[in-house]
Amino acid sequence: MSRLIDMGLEQLASVVFRMGEMAYKTVSLSLESYIEGTNVLTRVQDLSEALIVMAEEAEDKAFELIARFQPVASDLRILKSYMKITYDFERYGRYALDVSQVQRKSGGLEQCERWINESIREMSEKVLSMVRTSILSLKNHDIELAKTLSETENQVDDMYFRYLDRLVEKAPATNKCTISSVLVARYLERIADHATYVGESIIYLATGEKVTLR
Return mean pLDDT, the chain: 92
Confidence check: pLDDT of 54 > 90 = yes
Ordered by where they begin, the domains of the chain are 4-207 (1.20.58.220)
In three-state secondary structure terms, 153 is helix
User: Would you put residue 174 in left (φ > 0), alpha (ψ -120 to 50) or beta?
Assistant: beta
96 to each of 93, 99, 127, how far by Cα in Å?
5, 5, 12
Q: Could you give the dihedral angle defined by the CA atoms of residues 117, 29, 149 and 209, in that order, rounded to the nearest 10 degrees? A: 150
Look up residue 191 and give its amino acid.
I
8 Å CB contact between 89 and 27: no
**pLDDT value of residue 113:** 84
| Total-model pTM | 0.91
Provide the CA 35 distance to its chain's centre, in angstroms. Answer: 18
Lowest mean pLDDT among 120-124, 131-135, 208-212: 208-212
Model confidence band, residue 79 (pLDDT cutoffs 50, 70, 90) = very high
**pLDDT value of residue 13:** 96
**pLDDT value of residue 78:** 94
